[in-house]
Amino acid sequence: MKKLTKSRILLILILLLTLTGCTTQLKDKDNKVVKDPRTGQNLTANIVCRPTNTKIIKLYEKNGIDTNKLPECSKMPVTGKYENLWNTFFVRPLAFIIVRVGKLVGNTGLGLILITLAIRLILFPITKKTAMQSELIKKAQPELNKLEKKYEGKTDQDSVTKKGQEMMAIYKKYNINPLSGCLFAFLQLPLLFAFIEAINRVPAIFEGKFIGLEMGMTPWVGIASGHYLYVILPLLIVLATYFSFNMNNTAPMQGVGQGKSMMIFMTIFIGFMSFTLSSAIGIYWVTSSGFTVFQNLLTDRSKKNEKRSNKR
């Protein structure tokens, strides 16, 4: 059985987490997902606090959700009734912090950005290791390319085994740990889905606005309504995603070319998806991916300074 590449593992995890997410979508009597007709956002049944928009409240009441039983978002407790480990210890505390910081700075969009940056800064020492691996991969790239050409078109078991052995020898030569490249992905995924959960389940977030963008509005609906400012968000998502993936490309075990193809595929896929995601999720994605780009630029700069110091 062939080993799965890191990119394929990442794609499988995304699909699994998407299918098994904790958010419960609000559905009508015909079992159709209820959308906010103005923003295009799918409404969440298990919201953790009360909406303030009267039209949204009526949609919830029409479909069997009594919003009067929910606390105001500004008074939402850090923990509610125990649901499961994921919601109790990750989603609710994250939602609580975003709302409180948003209230402190006067904007939930800004609060979302600040919390995203704060968490990424806390994790910086860990995720920096992935960036360092990317630099080592770049050094090994010429030898890896030669290896790919050497075994191009050879699919017999003996060639596959020898290719794997020679690749591991190159990794050892440059002190590359293939597994450490997965570190960022496995940290990023839980964070991504915790933020998506918090955004979808807290009306104070998706009812807010940030630099002219309605947080609950999807770019597709915004553009269709004549608000062309929403074009900027998908463009930023594609750019941030591409540079983030490119700078963290750690050459999958089955070939550099495959890694680049998967990177391009994932960037295009996320670009298309960004048109149907709420602006709040898009803002989180741009902030997090943008931080990754900054982190890698910082790592690259420190490497160059180190080389200059060694030459003196």
Per-residue pLDDT reduced to its tens digit, 20-43: 446 788 898 888 988 888 888 888
Higher pLDDT, residue 105 or 127: 105
- Residue 174 CB-density burial (10 A; 0-12 exposed, 13-18 middle, 19+ buried): middle
Higher pLDDT, residue 138 or 75: 75
Whole-number pLDDT of residue 253: 42
Q: Dihedrals φ, ψ of 5, to 5°?
A: -75, 165
- Residue 301 CB-density burial (10 A; 0-12 exposed, 13-18 middle, 19+ buried): exposed
Task: Name the pTM for this structure.
Answer: 0.76
Which residues have C-beta within 8 Å of that of residue 287, sequence separation ≥ 6?
A: 112, 113, 116, 117
Sorted by where each begins, the domain ranges of the chain are 21-125+180-311
Whole-number pLDDT of residue 3: 40
Q: Which residues of 236-255 are buried (b: 16+ CB within 10 A; e: fewer)?
A: bbbbbbbbbbebbbbbbbbb
pLDDT digits (tens, 9 = 90+) for 233-271: 999 999 988 888 776 654 444 444 555 677 788 888 888
